[in-house]
Chain A
Amino acid sequence: MVSQYSIEGLEPKEIFKPESLEEVSLILKDANEKNKALAPICYGTKLNLGNPLKRLDYLLILSELKNLVEYAPSDLYVTVQCGMKLKDLQEILKRKNQHIPLDPPYYDKASIGGIISTNSFGPKRLRYGSLRDMLLGLKIVTAEGKIIRAGGKVVKNVAGYDLVKLYIGSLGTLGVIAEATFRVYPLPEKLVTLIVKLKDYREAMSLKERVQDSYLLPCALDMINPSLASSLNLDGSYYLLVRFDGLEVDVNREVRDALDLFKKGGFYDVKVIEKDEDLWDKLINYPQRIKEKESFVSLKVGILSTDLPLLMRLMEEYNLKPLINYHLGLGLGRMFLIDAEDYNVLGKVIDALREELYSKKGYLVIEHSPKELKKYTNVWGKLREDFPLMKGLKEALDPKGILNPGRFVGGI
């Protein structure tokens, strides 16, 4: 029998739902003393990310740690417990006309802690950066149950090592993230998206350069391929999505001039979407819309936009037909495969793709897949030469290896 608490088939032996930091600390102390493998989770939106756990004893559900700790609108920071959903936090900030310009997938379900542990991001990263650029401080419960602070609430701080950076994206393998302090930003007065119809992906590359060389400052610059476009009720072509945000005067001018720029380049089929929240929500949360499908695979690719042709060529060569959302200015993309059947073959294809991507300093990570695919290929790809340091850090900070054992890079 598979309970609702099983993680890829592993059943936890005990389940904890702490309501305070002190409780978290006690549970970790206990786990560490007894050498119990512990998996911290919140709402379980990304439990599938990473290698299968090597072992599991305690499941630590952090969803009750969801309070607002401190909000200082005039100092532009907010501190929350990590079980709070990003969506709920944004609601609080909105009352003061502020927000955090982070638009990751599972926006309405994911917790702050989960988002930080997986370094989640969305298209707006182009203008606003990622968690690295927005997080001011963290409170962490270590593998040994100690409560330590990293960073703080001021915007500059170089006392001590920058542990905040270390914990972002560390997938719960170095400690439990209990509280986070973010910079907050004023809400944009206006948001507008231009949807530019393209003949092929190469047009996206050249348009990206034109936009980059102009004064325009889009907050997102995304290419979608025909199959993903269809799922957004656009016809089956390539599209460039250009999103502007900011003061109304600026956005109005940018939209006008961007339309001009596109026309001059021979792009006449451009839709202007004023209420664009829905569109982006659908695009960013594509995985959520199809998650029911057993065989759904989501891949994150890192490849510079100048090397995009390689990625596209590989898709043809290996006859892969993913839905592709590529963030042009970032050099990062997501690819979704809905109907993969033969995981053995797919695993081999992924390995082959990786070899090619490595030659361009890129990579490919499996963000979501049926467990079966993980039998045939590795989730994270090849180890890089800094892996011994990663392993060293893991051994130093979680000496018994109780935190999410095995899940991260190289089985950390």
Chain B
Amino acid sequence: MLKGEIIGNIEKILGKEAVITSKTELSVYESDGISIFKGLPSAVLLPKNSEEVSKVIKLCNDNDIKFIPRGAGTGLSGAATPEGREMLISLNRMNKILEIDLKNKIGVVEAGAINLQLSLAIANTGYYYAPDPSSQQACTIGGNIAHNSGGAHCLKYGVTGNHVLGLEVVLPNGEVIELGGKVLDQPGYDITGLFVGSEGTLGIVTKAIVKFTKKAEATKTLLATFNTIEDAANAVSDVIAEGIIPGAMEFMDKLAIEAVERSVHRAGFPRDVEALVLIDIDGLRDGVEVLSNKVIEIFKKNKAKEIKLPKDENERKRWWNGRKQAFGAMGTLSPNYLVEDGVITRSKLAKVLKKIDEIAKRYNLRVANVFHAGDGNLHPLIPFDMREEGILKRVIEAGEEILKVCVDEGGSITGEHGVGIIKRNLMSYCFKEEELEFMEKIRCVFNPKSLCNPNKKIPSRGCAMPLQTTTRTIVRGW
């Protein structure tokens, strides 16, 4: 437990109302989006600005207190879940959009700002913030950065890391520094790039400079249904092989469709099919027509049962909403679910989906597949009921086996949800020992005492000797 004295000191910095210590309130924070891993924090802190974050972190650093940055807690790898009574530093109160610079197409936001808010703030300008995780109504830019989050439309427009130009971060020793900036290619190593995807293990992001993307002139949405998973998968592979990069190309199998159609987010998807592919072809007006025709041909060649255009904008929105709410809709199938996040090269979709099916059967589990097919980023969802004896172990093992297949096929164990706790065991399956050591060396430069989100992402091996930070000549980058 924390000493009362330390909490007292933190309260002096943040104010009493910004420090949560009561057990009932803390229980809200005991997991992220993956509720199979739970752990109570010792306290939750709600700082209002970078300075407060810095002061609190200094205090933690001086007293060897472990802490974890947290955004909206929608993460799907347990990366923000305490394992040893760490304190949570919640960025929720730091949610302001600080600057919108339309001439340079750049925005500056606090880390706790909600992803969707950013695009809403510039609606009607012809620009938007491109990374669109399905959780975008809730998740924070800081969380997106920590996980290098993707989304359906990241296929063409790139993931979070491709849209972040600079950061303000509080290092695990409490120093506030700026990385990158509005102006590209600041001389030196690309530490911004390294920070993105680091799951809060290198420090806390407090502000971000992001770039805005021009909205496509035209978008054509198509919904293609298929009688076999294999045909649908091959259709996706063939689109990519043709060199066509649609705005988005998503895949849902029968069970995923079933879940959505049973939920409040019913999209009107056909239910008598084995799989559907939902695709946005976007770009300039005429090119969109040319490419759509090519895509339709490819779908037909792969025995599409039906290829539909939405009747109107409403129907289009319903389809996309149905897709984006698919994880939540799993609740209509079972009380719990586990979502995996493997990546494979796109020509192997059919092969790997078949293997996933075999694994599920072997473990006597069901799997719903709803994923970013154009990226080869699989999301096998395993619905289950926690109350069933021994089921969790089975579910986790099946999930791991699926991810191993992805690695064996030359892919990765995670495309966007991160390693967190849940995939830590598998890191040694994808990386050689010396590669893990190498990454640990990097972590030690930033986080030498391993106080900041300890042991997440990479199984911790401890740091040799804390490096000295030298005094600094400062040029504020932005």
Contact = CB atoms under 8 A, between A and B. Distances in A.
A161 B243 contact: no
Interface in B444-478: 444-446, 457-458, 467, 469-470, 472-478
A319 B148 CA distance: 46
B414 A157 contact: yes
Given A133-B158, A246-B284, A361-B477, A154 B415 contact: yes
Interface stretch (A7-15, A58-66, A275-283, A393-401): A393-401
Contacts of B147: 158
Given A72-B345, A384-B477, A388-B470, A97 B243 contact: yes
Interface in A19-59: none
A399 to B, nearest CB: 9
Contacts of A186: 243-244
A300 B189 CA distance: 16
Given A133-B162, A397-B438, A390 B188 contact: yes
B193 A132 contact: yes
B256 interface: no
Interface residues of B, number: 95
Contact of A386 (B188, B244, B245): B188
A116 to B, nearest CB: 12
Nearest to B104: A304
B187 A165 contact: no
A149 B347 contact: no
Nearest to A168: B190
Contacts of A395: 467
A20 to B, nearest CB: 19
Contacts of A179: none
Given A132-B190, A161-B194, A385 B177 contact: yes
A384 B343 contact: no
Given A159-B414, A162-B197, A98 B189 contact: no
Given A155-B375, A249-B286, A389-B446, A381 B187 contact: yes
A359 B156 CA distance: 35
B347 A72 contact: yes
Interface in A298-316: 300, 302-306
Contacts of B467: 392, 395-396
Contact of A129 (B162, B346, B347, B417): B162
B208 to A, nearest CB: 15
A349 interface: no
Interface string A358-369: 100111010000
B113 to A, nearest CB: 21
Interface string A106-121: 0000000000000100
A162 B470 contact: no
Contacts of A242: none
Interface stretch (A209-217, A288-296, A337-345): A209-217
A168 B193 CA distance: 10
Contacts, number: 268
A156 interface: yes
A331 B473 CA distance: 25
Given A162-B194, A380-B187, A387-B188, A361 B415 contact: no
A374 to B, nearest CB: 15
B217 to A, nearest CB: 4
Given A77-B345, A132-B162, A385 B187 contact: no
A412 to B, nearest CB: 8
A146 interface: yes
Nearest to A154: B343
B196 A165 contact: yes
A250 B291 CA distance: 11
B28 interface: no
B371 to A, nearest CB: 11
B107 interface: no
A151 B148 CA distance: 13
A229 B414 CA distance: 49
Interface in A66-105: 72-77, 97-98
Given A98-B243, A168-B190, A250-B287, A386 B410 contact: no
Contacts of B13: none
B103 A158 contact: no
B78 interface: no
Contacts of B240: 74-76
A52 B362 CA distance: 62
Nearest to B158: A133
* Max count, chain B CB within 10 A of own CB: residue among A119, A246, A391: A391
A332 interface: yes
B103 to A, nearest CB: 5
Contacts of A215: 217, 284-285
Given A148-B435, A166-B194, A386-B191, A393 B287 contact: no
B182 A169 contact: no
Interface in B388-442: 410-419, 423, 427, 430-432, 434-436, 438-439, 441-442
Contact of B287 (A156, A170, A247, A383): A247
A207 to B, nearest CB: 14
Contact of A169 (B190, B376, B427): B190
A170 B287 CA distance: 38
B214 to A, nearest CB: 7
Interface string B159-201: 1011000000001000001110111111111111110111000
B54 interface: no
A75 B171 CA distance: 39
B423 to A, nearest CB: 7
A305 B104 CA distance: 7
Contacts of B427: 159-160
B183 A159 contact: no
A156 B187 contact: no
Interface in B270-325: 283-287, 290-291
Contacts of A381: 187
A253 interface: yes
30 contacts: A74-B241, A75-B347, A119-B185, A129-B162, A132-B190, A152-B412, A153-B410, A159-B413, A160-B431, A160-B435, A160-B436, A161-B194, A161-B198, A161-B442, A162-B193, A165-B192, A168-B190, A169-B190, A186-B243, A249-B286, A302-B184, A332-B183, A361-B477, A380-B187, A383-B473, A384-B187, A384-B188, A386-B179, A387-B472, A389-B446
Interface of A: 72-77, 97-98, 119, 129-130, 132-133, 142, 146, 148-149, 152-166, 168-170, 174, 185-186, 209, 212-213, 215, 217, 246-247, 249-250, 253-254, 300, 302-306, 330-332, 358, 361-363, 365, 380-393, 395-397, 408-410
Given A159-B419, A162-B193, 5 more contacts: A154-B343, A156-B377, A158-B197, A165-B196, A306-B104
